[in-house]
Amino acid sequence: MAADKNQPNRITELFGIEYPIIQGGMIWCAGWELASAVSEAGGLGVIGSGSMYPEVLKDHISKCKAATSNPFAVNLPLLYPDIEKHVESIIELGVPIVFTSAGSPKKWTSKLKSHGITVAHVVSSAVFAAKSEAAGVDAVVCEGFEAGGHNGREETTTMCLIPSVVESVDIPVIAAGGLYDGKSMLAAMVLGAEGAQMGSRFVATKESSAHNEFKKIVVELGEGGTSLTLKELTPVRMIHNQFYRKVIEAYEAKATNEELAELLGRGRSKKGMFEGNIDEGELEIGQIASMLQKIQPAGKVVIEIVQQYTDTGGQKLGKRFEF
Amino acid sequence: MAADKNQPNRITELFGIEYPIIQGGMIWCAGWELASAVSEAGGLGVIGSGSMYPEVLKDHISKCKAATSNPFAVNLPLLYPDIEKHVESIIELGVPIVFTSAGSPKKWTSKLKSHGITVAHVVSSAVFAAKSEAAGVDAVVCEGFEAGGHNGREETTTMCLIPSVVESVDIPVIAAGGLYDGKSMLAAMVLGAEGAQMGSRFVATKESSAHNEFKKIVVELGEGGTSLTLKELTPVRMIHNQFYRKVIEAYEAKATNEELAELLGRGRSKKGMFEGNIDEGELEIGQIASMLQKIQPAGKVVIEIVQQYTDTGGQKLGKRFEF
Residue B1: per-residue pLDDT: 63
Integer angstrom CA distances of residue A11 from A207, A253, A321? 24, 48, 11
CB B19 within 8 A of CB B71: no
- Please state, in angstroms and rounded to a whole number, the distance separating the CA atoms of residues B292 and B201: 7
Q: What is the mean pLDDT of residues B128-136?
A: 98
- Whether residue B103 is contained in a domain is answered as yes
Specify which residues B176 forms β-bridges with: B143, B197
Q: What is the spatial distance between Cα A38 and Cα A208, in angstroms, rounded to a whole number?
A: 10
Please choose, from the candidates B286, B101, B102, the residue with its C-alpha nearest in 3D space to the C-alpha of residue B179: B286
- How far apart are the C-alpha atoms of B140 and B24, rounded to whole Å? 13
> Which residues of A fall within a CB distance of 8 Å from B159?
144, 146, 157-159, 177-179, 184, 187, 288
Q: Specify whether A263 is located in the same domain as A300.
A: no
Considering the domain boundaries, does residue A159 fall inside one?
A: yes
- Both B304 and B230 in a single domain? no
Residues of B (6-25) whose Cβ lies below 8 Å from A:
none
| B313 and B284 housed in the same domain | no
User: Residues with Cβ < 8 Å from A25, sequence gap 6 or more?
Assistant: A35, A46, A47, A48, A49, A50, A73, A74, A75, A99
Q: Do residue B84 and residue B123 come from a single domain?
A: yes
* Total domains in the fold of chain B: 2
Q: Give the per-residue pLDDT at B290.
A: 98
Q: Are A271 and A277 in contact (CB under 8 A)?
A: yes
Tell me if B144 sits within 8 A of B112, measured CB to CB: no
How far is residue B207 from each of residues B30, B36, B72, B202, B297, measured CA to CA in Å? Answer: 8, 9, 15, 8, 7
Residues A129 and A269 in one domain: no
Tell me the residue range of the domain where A158 lies: 10-209+292-321
Interface predicted TM-score (ipTM) of this complex, two decimals: 0.97
Q: Which amino acid, B14?
A: L
Buried b (16+ CB within 10 A) or exposed e, A230-261: beeeebbbbbbbebbeebeebeeeebeeeebe
Are B96 and B73 within 8 A, CB to CB? yes
A184 shares its domain with A227: no
Query: Is residue A3 a part of any domain in this protein?
Result: no
Q: Are residues A112 and A15 in the same domain?
A: yes
- Per-residue pLDDT, B175: 98
Q: Within an 8 Å CB–CB cutoff, is residue B190 touching chain A?
A: yes
* Minimum Cα–Cα distance from B237: chain A residue: A155
Taking only the tens place, the pLDDT of each residue in B261-277 is 999 988 999 999 999 99
Using the 8-state DSSP alphabet, how is residue B291 labeled?
Answer: G
Which of B155, B158, B312 minimises the CB distance to A190? B312
Domain co-membership, B315 together with B238: no
For chain A of 323 residues, list the mean pLDDT of each consecutive stretch of 10.
Answer: 84 98 98 98 98 98 98 96 96 98 94 98 98 98 97 96 98 98 98 98 98 98 96 94 96 91 92 97 98 98 98 97 96
Residue A318: its chain B contacts at CB < 8 A?
Answer: 313
Enter the DSSP assignment of B274: I
CATH number of the domain enclosing B28: 3.20.20.70
pLDDT value at B258 more than 90: yes
Q: How many CB atoms lie within 10 A of CB A136?
A: 15
Q: What is the pLDDT of residue B3?
A: 67
Question: Which residues, at least 6 apart from B280, have a Cβ–Cβ distance to it below 8 Å?
Answer: B242, B243, B268, B271, B272
* Candidate from B191, B227, B286 with C-beta closest to A184: B191
* A80 and A93 housed in the same domain: yes
What residue type is B10 in one-letter code?
R
Q: What are the distances in angstroms from CA B76 to CA A176, A181, B48, B71, B90?
A: 36, 35, 7, 16, 10
Contacts of B147 in chain A (CB under 8 A): none
Distance CA A218, CA A171 (A): 34
- Examine residue A279 and state whether it is found in any structural domain, yes or no: yes
In a domain, A46, yes or no: yes
What pLDDT is attached to residue A49? 98
Whether residues B178 and B47 share a domain: the answer is: yes
Find the helix or strand (DSSP H, E) in which B35 lies: helix B32-40
What pLDDT score was predicted for residue B2?
66
Residues A201 and A224 in one domain: no
Return the percentage of chain B with pLDDT > 70, whole number: 99
Chain B (119-158) residues lying within 8 Å, Cβ to Cβ, of chain A? 125-127, 144-146, 153-158
Are both A103 and A225 inside the same structural domain? no
Position B317 scores a pLDDT of: 98
**Cα-Cα end-to-end distance for chain B:** 22
